Structure 1
Amino acid sequence: MTDILSRLLGARPWLLADGATGTNLYNMGLQPGDAPDLWCETHPERVRELHRQMIAAGADLILTNSFGANASRLRLSGAGTRVAAINHAAARLAREAVVESDRDVIVAGSIGPTGEIMAPVGRLTEAEATRLFTEQAEALKDGGVDILWIETVSAVEEMRAAAKAAQTTGLPWCGMMSFEPGGRSIMGVSPPQLATLVERLPYPPVAYGANCGTGPAELLLAMSGFSAAGSERPLIAKPNAGVPRFQDGGLIYDGTPEVMAEFAVLARDMGVRIIGGCCGTTPEHLAAMRGALEQRQPGARPTREVISSRISGAMAGS
């Protein structure tokens, strides 16, 4: 049976992924330093409400509130033995919001990096990373997610470990790295290198790409590296809504809804199939992105110069 992501990609030119989880939960009362994942048990109604808002804004795909719900990260909050329970709850809350919506919305099980540095630079081995990811992936599968969503990874070894975890579950998956200004991850991986890695994996993702980073313009420039590598696998672009700054005691991102709407159109015109937002992206941003994608006609593939000028123009005009 074809998975729901592949089915929707086969039927639609683009899909809209959701916005931020953690930064939106902070706006709903999460305190700095607290683990967002724990809210799946302590404040389930607020997590479910965020999913509802993202779906109402037009999301075709929502991420579970489980980005840091692996044993290594949860151990920092004293919850290292609660991987199964927290991931089950995360999947259930997202599924409940989808059922209420009565729409075809994909529930993607969010799996972020382990929080440890991979060997030989650090001490985390690929085998241990695989174990951590598999434990979380199996819990998300048991909780009812449609696909696994591996995001914000920076090392080749960590992406390979995540792919092995997905293969163990048998679920389809998507994989994303985060790229710094200059076009490489913090562990030195370039977009063409990720594209090559993806095609060589024994259990490749349905789609792959980039998330987080320093804003929409930088992420779009990284996306051009995937296209240059010649891969025909569907691409994902999910940038932060600009750069954060402190204001009124909290973090504010400088990418307005108008900026993210411009990003969404540029991404679509580059051939990106799954478009969304990461840190700082609110339901308001997402609604503007959906509106732009539906109302503005496809254009020519943008050059680097066009990307820079149109994002800068949107920022200046907002």
Structure 2
Amino acid sequence: MATASDPLSRLLAEKGVLLADGATGTNLFAMGLEAGEAPELWNESHPERIVKLHQDFVDAGADIILTNSFGGTRHRLKLHKADDRVFDLNRKAAEIARSVADKAPRKVIVAGSVGPTGELLQPLGALTYEDAVAAFVEQMEGLKAGGVDIAWIETMSSPEEIRAAAEAAVKVGLPYTYTGSFDTAGKTMMGLAPKDIHGVAKDIGDGPVAVGANCGVGASDILASLLDMTSADPTATVIVKGNCGIPEYRGAEIHYSGTPPLMAEYAKLARDAGAKIIGGCCGTSCGHLAAMRQALDNYTPGPRPTIETIVEHIGPLRNKTAEESSGDAGRERRGRRRS
């Protein structure tokens, strides 16, 4: 793992557990973002709305805010005829978040959000590993110029793409974290299991500052993934940034089932399961995050949760766990059945 010389590691050493922010897309849709519109373009066209989003999360208690740059590679931006503006849009995303963090009454980390390119790497697709690295370098150069503290590689499915992004971070001179989205029978779409997340890029640079999971299908499922990750390496700094309950279609709109009390319970269970960085993903509003902040501030350590405990408090799993999909019921669950 990386040394404690980076800002995120220093704040973790000081506070023990950090609260990351909530949803970007969900909250921007509530502010008027249209389906199919690139959120990154708002960094220039509606910067005041991005400022408000970051400020609301800081006011709710976030220790880490993610830049509005998830789709900020040339491959994503070309869909909006903005692939010639990669550097400027990412720099602006970082500058906006930096301006909010620097005015906060406490230390707030600015994490440069780096999502997948949307392309498949060879041999499954046309994108070469070298081209993936170059695309991530281009994005991260903008993020670094705007003042991010760390590259936050997130919602990844492919181990090779994680490695490409990690290599780009090292080339640019940024510490990095990475998370997978374990949304396919407890694994990522490309077959990466939660227990294997630690080894994906540990040999690149100084290794990741933290690894973990975000997005996926719901709060219960991501907590199950968290158990696998913290069992595999109890000493690792693990991130969990789960969706706010379960997405439900109401007409043409998506709503998330999670309430602030449910997300507070999720935050406590995540802490008991060993997560050191806890946040929310799709559907997580500032109200949800404020409840999570209160839950972590008033945290009383509890026993390490089992799958049954998670289901009892948060709700049923939507998918099989990674162990079940591999033909193994999983140690956490077996331990409960024996008792």
- Structure-2-length-normalised TM-score: 0.89
Residue 5 of structure 1: aligned partner: 8
Residue 299 of structure 1: aligned partner: 302
Distance in 2 (CA, whole Å) between partners of 1:230 and 1:257 is: 30
Residue 107 of structure 1: aligned partner: 110
Q: Which stretch shifts more, 247-256 or 97-106? A: 247-256
* 1:277 pairs with 2:296: no
Q: Tell me if structure 2 keeps the 8 A contact 1:70–1:133.
A: yes
Residue 43 of structure 2: aligned partner: 40
* 1:158 pairs with 2:182: no
Residue 174 of structure 1: aligned partner: 177
* 1:124 pairs with 2:127: yes
Q: Tell me if structure 2 keeps the 8 A contact 1:198–1:205.
A: yes
Residue 260 of structure 1: aligned partner: 263
Task: Please list every run of 5 or more consecutive structure 1 residues that lacks an aligned counterpart in the other structure.
Answer: 314-318
Residue 200 of structure 2: aligned partner: 197
Deviation (angstroms), 1:103 = 1.8
1:207-250: CA deviations, max 9, x gaps?
01000000111001111111222252200000111222233652
Give aligned pairs, total: 313
Deviation (angstroms), 1:296 = 3.2
Residue 210 of structure 2: aligned partner: 207
The SS at the match of 2:136 is helix
- Structure 1 residues 202, 296: CA separation in 2 closer, same or farther (over 3 Å shift)? closer
Distance in 1 (CA, whole Å) between partners of 2:180 and 2:132 is: 16
1:27-55: CA deviations, max 9, x gaps?
00101110111100000000000000000
> Counterpart amino acid of 2:278?
I
* 1:56 pairs with 2:59: yes
Distance in 1 (CA, whole Å) between partners of 2:150 and 2:29 is: 26
Deviation (angstroms), 1:198 = 3.7
Distance in 1 (CA, whole Å) between partners of 2:259 and 2:252 is: 19
Taking every aligned residue pair, what percent have the same amino acid on both sides? 50
Distance in 1 (CA, whole Å) between partners of 2:186 and 2:175 is: 27
Distance in 1 (CA, whole Å) between partners of 2:296 and 2:184 is: 26
1:91-141: CA deviations, max 9, x gaps?
011011112223200000000000111221111121111111111011100
Q: Which stretch shifts more, 223-232 or 213-222? A: 223-232
- Structure 1 residues 202, 89: CA separation in 2 closer, same or farther (over 3 Å shift)? closer
Distance in 1 (CA, whole Å) between partners of 2:110 and 2:77 is: 22
Distance in 1 (CA, whole Å) between partners of 2:260 and 2:23 is: 13
Alignment partner for residue 87 of structure 1, among 90, 98, 102?
Answer: 90
Q: Tell me if structure 2 keeps the 8 A contact 1:196–1:229.
A: no
Alignment partner for residue 240 of structure 1, among 239, 243, 252?
Answer: 243
Deviation (angstroms), 1:23 = 1.0
Query: Cα RMSD between the aligned structures?
Result: 1.4
The SS at the match of 1:205 is coil
Residue 188 of structure 1: aligned partner: 191
Q: Tell me if structure 2 keeps the 8 A contact 1:163–1:203.
A: no
> Counterpart amino acid of 1:270?
A
Deviation (angstroms), 1:274 = 0.2
The SS at the match of 1:199 is coil
The SS at the match of 2:312 is helix
Alignment partner for residue 29 of structure 1, among 4, 29, 32?
Answer: 32
Alignment partner for residue 77 of structure 2, among 50, 74, 78?
Answer: 74
Deviation (angstroms), 1:181 = 4.8
Q: Tell me if structure 2 keeps the 8 A contact 1:206–1:233.
A: no
Residue 331 of structure 2: aligned partner: none
Q: Tell me if structure 1 keeps the 8 A contact 2:94–2:146.
A: yes
> Counterpart amino acid of 1:233?
A
Residue 314 of structure 2: aligned partner: 311
Distance in 1 (CA, whole Å) between partners of 2:122 and 2:243 is: 28
Deviation (angstroms), 1:196 = 2.3
- Structure-1-length-normalised TM-score: 0.95
Distance in 1 (CA, whole Å) between partners of 2:238 and 2:252 is: 36
Structure 1 stretches of 4+ moved >3 Å: 198-203
Residue 316 of structure 1: aligned partner: none
